[in-house]
Amino acid sequence: MQVDIESSVDENTSIMHTLSRILIFPWFFSVYGRIRGISTFQAVLAQPWYCAFFMLLVFLPQLYWFRLMVIGAAKVLQDRGKPQENANGVANGDGKKQL
């Protein structure tokens, strides 16, 4: 059984990025809300404006990088089924040059 290390790394990177950089924000607000005895949505609204602004400022680049990783992982998974060409333009060793 052959394991495609490149796609495995891309998938793991996307998963870890999601867990550590994206889902930390809802978790933060849910913990803050639990401590103050309010709902998560109320915790978002109860933040001082400068805290909410900073959280948004930090969150938007994380979404951008997550989007780039998902696009890259999708390309790797999409290219997985296509035949690979060598330097001579020969695919799958059949000796026929691809145009």
Residue 88 pLDDT: 62
For 55, the domain range is 5-79
36 has a pLDDT exceeding 80: yes
Q: Domain for residue 60, yes or no?
A: yes
Q: Tell me the two tokens of residue 42.
A: 């109320």
Instruction: Give domain status of residue 43, yes or no.
Output: yes
Tell me how far CA of residue 7 lies from CA of 10, 48, 71, 86, in angstroms. 5, 42, 12, 20
Residue type for 98, please? Q
Mean per-residue pLDDT, 27-44: 92
Residue 72 lies in a domain: yes
In the predicted model, is pLDDT for residue 75 greater than 90?
Answer: no
Domain count, the chain: 1
Work out the pLDDT band at 35, boundaries 50, 70, 90.
Answer: very high
Rounded Cα–Cα distance for residues 53 and 55 (Å): 5
